[in-house]
Each structure stands twice: as C-alpha cells, then as structure tokens.
Amino acid sequence: MSLTSFAPAKVNLYLHVTGKRSDGYHLLDSLAVFPAVGDKVTVSEAASLSLSLSGPFGAALEGEADNLLLQAARSLAQDSGAALALEKNLPVASGIGGGSADAAACLRALCKLWGVQGADLPALALHLGADVPVCLRSIPARMQGIGEVLAPAPRLPEFGMVLVNPGVAVPTPSVFKARRGGFTPAPMLPAIWPNAAAMASALKRCTNDLQAAAITIQPVIGEVLATLSTLPGVLLARMSGSGATCFALFATPAEAEAAAAQIPQESWWRWGGGLYQPPQTGL
C-alpha cells in the first residue's frame, strides 16, 4: 500500500515576537495560512525505513544527515519500516515551513499506513520543530507560545497570494539572533474579515518582527519586497517566517497568478494562487 499526503507551504501573515523563554526560544503571536502550493510526501510499505528525494529542490536535501522526515517516522514508531518519498517543490530553509510541512504530512500518512492509534501527534510534532504542530492540520490558525498554542484564525475572505523566494537560504536561528528591538504585543483580531482589503489593512497594523533582521543577513529580501510592492493590485507585501520567502496579497487568486507571471527576475522562484483546501480524508 502507498499513501500520498500534500504538504502545503505555511505563510505567516504577521509574526510578532512577544517575549523570550528562559531556554532561548521566542514567544510568538502569528497568523499562519496555507497556500495551495507545496511538497508531496508518499509513504509505502517496506521492511526498513528509507527516504528518496525528487522535485526541483530535492537535490538541495541530498547528503543531509538526518532529514526531518526520517526523524518524524522514528518518533511515531521507533522500529517500523516504510519507504518515504519526498517531492520537494518548495525552496528549502525559506520561511514557508517546507521541512515542517513535510514532517507533518509524514506523520499524517504514516499514522494511516501503520494504523497508529492514540499517538499524541501535536506533542510529537512540537518535538520535531515549533512550526510542525500548525502544519498537522494545514488550516488557517493563530499560533502562540513558541508556535504550539493554536487557536482558530479569524474567518478569512477570498484572497490571492504571490510567493517569491530569491534563492538564498536563511537559517532561522541566525535571524532570531540578529533581531534587534523589544517585543511587540499580540494584536486584537476580529472574528471575521469581510473582504481582502479589510484583511490587508488590519494586517498592515501588524509586523513581521524578523523581517529587518533577515534583510541585514540577506539584503536581497529588501529587493524582493520592493518588487512585490510594485505589482498591480498588491494589497500588502511582507516576509514570511524567518525568510527569505516574501508574500504579497491580492483580492483574488487569479489576480495573484497573473501578478506572479509579471515578476521580471527570472531566477526568483515564484508562485501565485489561493489557499489550500485540505481533503476530507485527513491526508
């Protein structure tokens, strides 16, 4: 038997650093959404655990000592076998949760393949990374704590999103270390945003507190944001997570798709569309 689970990208519409824990992890308040672009994780029955890589960014993970997918599999069942296949469509170390989404998709698929019951998936997920719990369900969510305290997002209107990555990997710990300034309080969010313009104007009052630090490490992020800000119909342009991927919001997915095609920098990875709708099967 073989099962495939989609691992959509995670985008932080805002990201406030609200405090710091004694172990060095930062307390956050963030609104995470999941665009309809991502990796694919296929799990198949096999006697031992293995991982194969494909897709445009698969080569970037070759030679990695212990991929998060293998760690996810072992955390679910120490000695069970499975052939894991990762189609890597998202740029790596890029602030849109690729590795976290892959780990979450792997946990979902292996639970089904192995018939695991009663596992504490959110706890296993958190152990793999602060962004993995929110990726388990891949539906819009407010993240607090270090990312593991999840609450429903406001009801979101239809909107479109462009993602751009300029091809530089940014290590998350360096960005947190380079961050200057104090803490930003959590914003008040409404229960519902009636349309994309209202959502964007509320989000403009929020920030990504890691953006300035990431630009000092990789100034090209500033160029990406400048390019996104000039696209026709753009409502908001901001960096996601610890970068370097930036996003721009539009009124509709079609507008976003058209805008993505207009970005002149050919070497930049880009995508335009709408949000991911998870299937009823739970995969």
Among 35, 38, 98, 129, binds ligand C5P (CB under 6 A): 129
Alpha helices in 77-164 (DSSP H): 98-114, 121-128, 132-137
> What distance in Å separates the CA atoms of residue 246 and residue 227, rounded to the nearest whole number?
10
DSSP letter for each residue of 70-97:
HHHHHHH-TT--EEEEEE--SPSSSSS-
Q: Report cis status (omega within 30 of 0) of the bond before 251.
A: no
Residue 91, annotated as binding a ligand: yes
Residue 164's closest CA among 27, 4, 1, 11? 11
Q: Is 147 in the site for ligand C5P (CB under 6 A)?
A: yes
Q: Is 260 annotated as a binding residue?
A: no
Catalytic residue among 29, 102, 131, 209: 131
Query: Is 194 one of the annotated binding-site residues?
Result: no
Q: CA 223, CA 219: separation in Å to the nearest integer?
A: 7
User: Quick check: 209 binds ligand C5P (CB under 6 A)?
Assistant: no
**Among residues 109 and 128, whose Cβ is nearest to ligand C5P?**
128
C-beta of 129: minimal distance to ligand C5P in Å? 4
259 is in an annotated binding site: no
DSSP secondary-structure letter at 22?
A: T
26 or 108, CB closer to ligand C5P? 26
Please list, in sequence order, all residues whose beta carbon lies within 8 angstroms of the beta carbon of residue 178, skipping any fewer than 6 positions away. Answer: 213, 214, 216, 217
Q: Residues 10, 39, 88, 102: which is the catalytic one?
A: 10
Q: Do the beta carbons of residue 157 and residue 196 sit within 8 Å?
A: yes
Task: Specify the stretch interacting with ligand C5P by CB under 6 A; choose among 23-31, 83-91, 150-158, 230-238.
Answer: 23-31
Q: Does 173 bind ligand C5P (CB under 6 A)?
A: yes
Among 25, 114, 183, 269, binds ligand C5P (CB under 6 A): 25
Per rule CB under 6 A, count of chain residues that contact ligand C5P: 11
**Residues labelled as active-site residues:** 10, 131
Going by the annotation, the residues of the binding site for ATP are 91-101
